[in-house]
């Protein structure tokens, strides 16, 4: 018997003013696994992330977390159920220091959590720096630190490698690979990066999932080529 996946997206569609951003997308993420979403710009990846995180309401379809329907739940409730997200442009609290940002995210989880998370993301030396003075890359890492500090069951990462240096990307990779029992929905357009760290990959184009499988599978590679090449012509 197959265990209920952590996250299930069932035939989700979304239209914005008549433009179909998502068309009947279905997928699942298991606890402890990373599902990578690849696709060219405009494929609907960020919209999907938004719907799972709770920022956007789908036009139709369902989202289930641990078997429970969360489609209509507001962002705050999703946070309480263990969903944490990062955004394409990192969102952090600029008036607060790095430490304070992580503290807020950690809530009642205590001092150790903060130190642990800061270490993982190499932010220890910056703990007392104001978030507004951080570089783009460090802001991204901070946002990720905040997501981790909330002890999530499901992480939704939207283009987490964008703007990161090679070293920072490496750190990002090791953090994600080092997660235990957390489901990760990883959205990125860098195929090599996603293929390296995902257990499975969904290829999206024009709002649809055109292939789903292991990163190096034939079908997946072919789909990627189709999606990206078509974008280039």
Partner 1 sequence: MAGRSRYSVGTPVLSAIVITALALLYTLLPDYGRTLLARIMVLSIYSYGFAVSFHLLGVMSLGHAALFASGMYGAGLYALRSPVGGPPAALAAGLASSLIVSVILCLVTLRTRGPYTMIATLLLSQALYLLMLHFNEVTGGEQGIVLPRQATVAWQLEGVLGEAGSRYFIALAGLTAAVLSVLLLQRSRLGRILLALRDDEDKLESLGYDRRLYRLIGFSVSGLLSGLSGSLYALTYGYMGAGFAGVMYSVQPILWVLVGGPVIELSPFIGCLAVGILSDLASGLVRGHVLVVGLGLVAIAFATRRLVWMSRLLGRLEGVGR
Q: Which residues contact 21 (CB under 8 A, 6 or more apart)?
A: 14, 15, 44, 47, 207
Q: List Cα–Cα distances, 163 to 87, 136, 216, in angstroms.
A: 12, 7, 25
Number of Cβ within 10 Å of residue 56's Cβ equals: 17
Cα Rg of the chain, angstroms: 17
**Helix (H) / strand (E) containing 229:** helix 218-232
* Residue with Cβ nearer partner 1 (182 or 212): 182
Give least dist CB 179 to partner 1, A. 19
The nearer residue to partner 1, 95 or 124, going by C-beta atoms, is: 95
Can you tell me which of 57, 72, 80, 177 binds partner 1, judged by CB under 8 A?
80
> If binding is defined by CB under 8 A, does position 194 make contact with partner 1?
no
- Using CB under 8 A as the criterion, what x/- string covers residues 30-59 for binding partner 1? -----------------------xxx----
Q: Does 111 bind partner 1 (CB under 8 A)?
A: no
Which of 76/216 has CB closer to partner 1? 76
* Residue 105 makes contact with partner 1 by CB under 8 A: yes
**186, 34 contact by CB (below 8 A):** yes
- Give the residue, chosen from 100, 116, 173, 217, that forms a contact with partner 1 under the rule CB under 8 A: 100
Q: How many CB atoms lie within 10 A of CB 97?
A: 18
Contact residues toward partner 1 (CB under 8 A) are 53-55, 74-76, 78-80, 84-85, 91-96, 100-101, 103-105, 107, 130, 132-133, 146, 150
């Amino acid at each position: 018997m197959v265990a209920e996946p952590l996250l299930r997206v069932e035939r989700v569609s979304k239209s914005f003013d008549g433009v179909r951003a998502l068309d009947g997308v279905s997928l699942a993420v298991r606890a402890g696994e990373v599902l990578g979403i690849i696709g060219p710009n405009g494929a609907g990846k960020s919209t999907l992330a938004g719907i799972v995180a709770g920022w956007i309401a789908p036009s139709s379809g369902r989202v289930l977390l641990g078997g429970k329907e969360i489609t209509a739940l507001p962002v705050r409730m999703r946070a309480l159920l263990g969903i944490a997200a990062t955004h394409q442009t990192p969102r952090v609290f600029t008036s607060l220091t790095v430490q304070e940002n992580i503290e807020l995210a950690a809530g009642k989880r205590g001092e150790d959590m903060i130190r642990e998370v800061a270490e993982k993301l190499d932010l220890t030396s910056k703990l007392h720096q104001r978030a507004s003075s951080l570089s783009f890359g460090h802001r991204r890492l901070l946002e990720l630190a905040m997501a981790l500090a909330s002890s999530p069951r499901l992480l939704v990462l939207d283009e987490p490698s964008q703007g990161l240096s090679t070293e920072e990307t490496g750190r990002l990779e090791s953090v994600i690979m080092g997660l235990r029992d957390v489901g990760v929905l990883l959205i990125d357009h860098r195929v090599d990066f996603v293929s390296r760290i995902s257990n499975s990959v969904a290829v999206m184009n024009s709002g649809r999932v055109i292939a789903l499988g292991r990163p190096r599978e034939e079908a997946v590679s072919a789909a990627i080529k189709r999606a990206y090449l078509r974008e280039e012509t």
